[in-house]
Amino acid sequence: MPLTNSKRPKRKAAGSVQSIAATSQIKPEHFTMLLNRHAGNDVNIQRTRLYLAMQFALVTTFEARKYLDVIAPAQRIKEMRESGISIDTLLVNIETDARIIHRRVAMYVLQGGEL
């Protein structure tokens, strides 16, 4: 299901998305549901999963790889930006499952307004 200009879902402003409230348990469950619903490794499917995930919550590169099976999230974000979708990148420090702190990890924020 590729995202075309006429078929993009409507989106809310990043501030109104319940991303901040998404707990560490709900977010992986939602992302896993997206992975199951939009299975496949085609780049259009990967972009769709990532886009839908960003409508729900902020998404880091680690989460995109681990829960959404998007191996190159930066490339998918670049492609979405080139298609006119407004996405901000924040650099954050995160702790992985191995309990190692990684600095300056990209966290993607879908910006508001309708396309």
pLDDT tens digits, 50-90: 999 999 989 999 999 999 999 999 999 999 999 999 999 99
pLDDT digits (tens, 9 = 90+) for 6-30: 444 444 444 433 334 445 678 888 8
Look at residue 97 in the predicted model and tell me its pLDDT.
84
Domains in the chain, ordered, with CATH? 14-110 (1.10.10)
Which residue reads 């670049």 in tokens? 78
Confidence of residue 96 (pLDDT cuts 50, 70, 90): confident
* pLDDT exceeds 70 at position 101: yes
Beta-bridge partners for 102: 94
Q: Encode 67-77: b = buried (16+ Cβ within 10 Å), e = exposed.
A: bbbbeebeebb
